[in-house]
Amino acid sequence: MSIWSKSDMIITTTPGIEGRRITEYRGIVVGEAILGANVFRDFFAGITDVLGGRSGSYEKSLNEARETALKELEDRARDAGANAVVGVDLDYEVIGKEGSMLMVSASGTAVTVD
């Protein structure tokens, strides 16, 4: 089971939460983050890829985008009166002219659990 939580909100990829009963479904919630690509970071990432290493700058950007999308998802769930989000799905897409931006979206079902 995958659970993400930096507060009292439980966010999980599973359809339920072990040991907790869903008492109310509050609706679908979504969080998105879009980050622009940096020309210099892209250049150095290309060199790293050629040399066979990992691109720390891209990994950091992905991490930041995922955290932002999950935080937005959590905020929207809380606004809906939920204390958990189940069935969370994370999607990553390159968008914009010539793939100049990275979009991370998180979606799930806001619920109230006891």
Indicate the number of domains in the chain: 1
Q: Is the pLDDT of residue 3 over 70?
A: no
In DSSP notation, the chain reads: --EE-SSS-EEESSSS-TT--EEEEEEEEEEEEEEEPPHHHHHHHHHHHHHT---HHHHHHHHHHHHHHHHHHHHHHHHTT-SEEEEEEEEEEEESGGG-EEEEEEEEEEEEE-
Q: How confident is the model at residue 40 (pLDDT cuts 50, 70, 90)?
A: very low
1 within a domain of the structure (yes/no): no
Q: How confident is the model at residue 110 (pLDDT cuts 50, 70, 90)?
A: very high
Q: Is the pLDDT of residue 2 over 70?
A: no
Q: Quick one: average pLDDT of 78-99?
A: 93
State the CATH number of the domain containing residue 49.
Answer: 3.30.110.70
3 within a domain of the structure (yes/no): no
* 94: containing domain: 10-113
Q: Structure tokens of 16? A: 């339920």
Q: Quick one: average pLDDT of 59-65?
A: 84
78 within a domain of the structure (yes/no): yes
63 within a domain of the structure (yes/no): yes
76 within a domain of the structure (yes/no): yes
Q: How confident is the model at residue 29 (pLDDT cuts 50, 70, 90)?
A: very high
72 within a domain of the structure (yes/no): yes
